[in-house]
Amino acid sequence: MSIPFIPILIAVTAAGLIALLYYRLTASRHRFDEMPEDWEQIEPSRYAPLTRLLSPEDFAFLRTLPGYDPKLEKTLRRRRVDAFRYYLRSLENDFDTLQRAGHLLIATGQGSPMLREQLLLARISFTRALWQVRLELVLFRLTGRAVEPGRLLAALQDACGALHLDPSRTGAA
């Protein structure tokens, strides 16, 4: 490889990553021909266990019990990580459902002028927090470092609030 080729390769790679990020933030993952039925029942408090599921205090307590076995801790960690991932997938699906509902409200003229901006800001916040939690999950598996899903839950709450508090909505969608 020659020297001028490397900066070009880096620039093309960076442009591709920026384009992918833009696509992921703006494109809907699903077609929204009809309003998702369950979007109004999405409740962010359902995901409260995410804040405690990988709590380092639980594992520290486990180590103090008589008959402690490191295999038991490893099994508990693995099962809790699996449960955390299940909640995370469910949270992503709920967030996508809210986004679809919001975009359909906008397309049908039932959304406020600010709804589009609120949905985009919620998408950016959610995507950033999701990647942060995924990184923290990897670090948890390697080091036992705590996972902080607070920003992710706040982004879901923001998306719920944007749709439920939209004053231009007229009853059912």
Report the pLDDT averaged over residues 115-124: 88
> DSSP state, 66?
T
What are the pLDDT digits (tens) for 29-86? 445 456 666 777 788 888 988 888 888 888 889 899 998 888 988 898 999 999 999 9
Please state, in angstroms and rounded to a whole number, the distance separating the CA atoms of residues 84 and 138. 12
116 lies in a domain? Answer: yes
156 lies in a domain? Answer: yes
136 lies in a domain? Answer: yes
If we measure between CA atoms, which residue out of 63, 62, 59 comes closest to residue 141?
A: 59
If we measure between CA atoms, which residue out of 93, 156, 63 comes closest to residue 164?
A: 156
What pLDDT was estimated at residue 118?
87
Question: Is the sign of the CA dihedral 95, 96, 97, 99 positive or negative?
Answer: positive
Residue 154 has pLDDT above 70, yes or no: yes
* pTM beyond 0.75, yes or no: no
Query: Which two three-digit tokens encode residue 173?
Result: 């969608």
Q: How many domains does the chain have?
A: 1
Domain that holds residue 153: 31-164
